Amino acid sequence: MEVFESMESRGHEQVVFSNDPITGLKAIIAIHDTTLGPALGGCRMWNYKKESDALKDVLRLSKGMTYKAAVAGLDLGGGKSVIIGDSKTMKNEYLFRSFGRFVQGLGGRYITAEDVGTSVSDMEWVRRETKYVTGISRALGGSGDPSPVTALGTFMGMKACVNKVFGSDSLKDRKIAIQGIGHVGAHLVELLHKAGAKLYISDIDEEKLKPVAKKYRCKVVNNDKIYELDVDIFAPCAMGGIINDETIPKLKCAIIAGAANNQLEKEKKHGKDLLDLGILYAPDYVINAGGLINVYNELQGYNRERALTQAEDIYQILTEVLNSAEREGVPTPIASNRYAEERIKGIRSLKKTFIGERKLNIERRKITEANPEKR
């Protein structure tokens, strides 16, 4: 894999390879784009078979973060990091403090957070070496578990979708199927129950289903059957890649709107398939941006109310994305990508104008200082 070629094709600014033989740390930090602000994105710990797999993953994920932050209207760029190793056996204080020192070395261009394979407590080790880390516990001044904020954003996004399809954003009596009753799914069920929706839930962990089903009067569905339900909304809240050639023919829902990352196995193809079938798809990184909004607020001195209000804005943002997809006759993921790219382009040209004007003023000053009679 050619590193510079890969960076250039995706538009990456910087990739840092970090190696610490004392702690065994092997990490890659990818900074995709800092036009809007410092590159923020989680640190994934994974036992990659090949170093090139780790590089591919970090390049792909960091670009995704640029788009997510841009659409959410945040002053953040996109970044991500990966630590190569087994998160079950290799984690310790030394490893994460070593990682924290590498993050500190970037002077704030990259801000890290937890991700798959890392936890709040790992980030608290990182915090001992750098202030450029988010997602630490509320007790230590952080924003804590982002899931309730992600669930609120997803709930508001569902309302925007229902409004688009049925002309009213009420979720009362709407039939909604939720796949995955984990951190986000469980909070989402609570919000939807309060809104009067009729709920169907599935999870591979049956223990998680029983208490939620009982408390919020949900119907438990076999995980294979959840795709086939005749519902208004199907909400993937577990794994990525579940909207694919095999599952699309089974779908009977009017809307797909859920919190899971990378729901479409192939963004272009499956986005188009859903458009052709008349199923409205809420682009995942737009509707699930609540978690990012939450950690962004941590950077400014965490205020829960402000984070929740910003997550509610997902209603408006998603409505704009859905409207522009309709106007342009393109799949919704294409519309959201364009929305992100336009915002970045706009801010970039604004910055260029500022720099240009500043240079011009300096030049003007030099000329008048050299020729005082021209004052």
| Contact footprint for ligand NAD (CB under 6 A) | 146-147, 150, 179-185, 202-205, 208, 223, 237-240, 259-261, 288, 291
- State the minimum distance, in angstroms, from the CB of residue 349 to ligand NAD: 30
- State the minimum distance, in angstroms, from the CB of residue 238 to ligand NAD: 3
3-class SS shares of the chain: helix, strand, coil, % to 5: 50, 15, 35
The rounded distance, in Å, linking the Cα atoms of 300 and 164 is: 34
Burial of 373: CB neighbours in 10 Å, binned 0-12, 13-18, 19+:
exposed
Given 80, 159, 164, 198, the catalytic residue: 80
Which C-beta is closer to ligand NAD: that of 208 or that of 269? Answer: 208
Quick check: is 351 catalytic? no
Cβ neighbour number for residue 146 with a 10 Å cutoff: 25
- State the minimum distance, in angstroms, from the CB of residue 38 to ligand NAD: 19
Q: Return the bridge partners of 43, or none.
A: 81, 114
- State the minimum distance, in angstroms, from the CB of residue 98 to ligand NAD: 26
For ligand NAD, the nearest residue by Cβ is 182
- State the minimum distance, in angstroms, from the CB of residue 41 to ligand NAD: 12
Q: Do residues 91 and 115 make contact, with C-beta atoms less than 8 angstroms apart?
A: no
The rounded distance, in Å, linking the Cα atoms of 110 and 324 is: 32
Which C-beta is closer to ligand NAD: that of 25 or that of 65? Answer: 65
Which C-beta is closer to ligand NAD: that of 42 or that of 271? Answer: 42
Q: Mention every residue, 6+ apart, whose C-beta is less than 8 A from residue 65.
A: 32, 39, 40, 41, 77, 78, 79, 80, 292
- State the minimum distance, in angstroms, from the CB of residue 11 to ligand NAD: 23
Which C-beta is closer to ligand NAD: that of 106 or that of 158? Answer: 158
Which C-beta is closer to ligand NAD: that of 223 or that of 244? Answer: 223
Which C-beta is closer to ligand NAD: that of 259 or that of 286? Answer: 259
Burial 307-324 (b: 16+ CB within 10 A, else e): bbebbbebbebbbebbeb
Name the token pair of 89.
């056996």
- State the minimum distance, in angstroms, from the CB of residue 276 to ligand NAD: 25
Phi, psi of 2 (to 5 degrees): -80, 120
- Residue 260: C-alpha distances to residues 3, 237, 305, 308, 355 (Å): 29, 5, 24, 19, 40
Phi, psi of 227 (to 5 degrees): -70, -30
Which C-beta is closer to ligand NAD: that of 13 or that of 144? Answer: 144
- Helix, coil or strand: residue 180: coil
Q: Do residues 169 and 177 make contact, with C-beta atoms less than 8 angstroms apart?
A: no
Planar angle of CA 34, 39, 40, nearest 5 degrees: 155
Catalytic residues: 80
